[in-house]
Amino acid sequence: LDRGNLLGNRFEITIRNLKRVQRLHVEGEESWKEQTIPVHSSHLNAMVERIKEFGFINFYGEQRVGAAGFRSHVGVRSFDVGRAMLKGDFASAIDLIMTGRSNQVYSPGAEEINVREVWKTSGGNARATLKAFPKNRNSMVREKDLMKGLLRYGDSLEA
């Protein structure tokens, strides 16, 4: 849809029980603990002003950030992919998408694990990875389309 197609689209958003992540340093360790706490109106007002001034990122793929925690634990998040794309580093964005979320947080099936492993062990070979996708399945549609794009155009900028 083009921006002009949405002129008549109006809606209200109601948010209840909003929480935010608070990071706490663990004494004696080089790590942080994360917990969710209620959002106070002063914090919310500051975030609204920040969005008014700087805008916001439209996340790609699933419209959420994911579980709280370090990347080493949760794996790739939507904003990691978005950051790479904003930097124009499309090869990294594709690699992040193909790496996926962490098996510690997300429970992928054996077929998905295999596809991601083929991508990794083949050094990002789109042809080999595309052959690893399950036949006649609607899983990993974005990833499959990326591999087809890489084969068709041969360049991460075009895929």
Is the per-residue pLDDT at 115 higher than 70? yes
DSSP-derived secondary structure letter, 158: T
Q: What does 88-145 look like in DSSP terms, one character per residue?
A: T-HHHHHHHHHH-B-TTTS---HHHHHHHHHHHHTTS-HHHHHHHSPTT--TTHHHHH
pTM, full prediction? 0.55
pLDDT, tens only, 69-92: 666 777 787 778 888 988 989 999
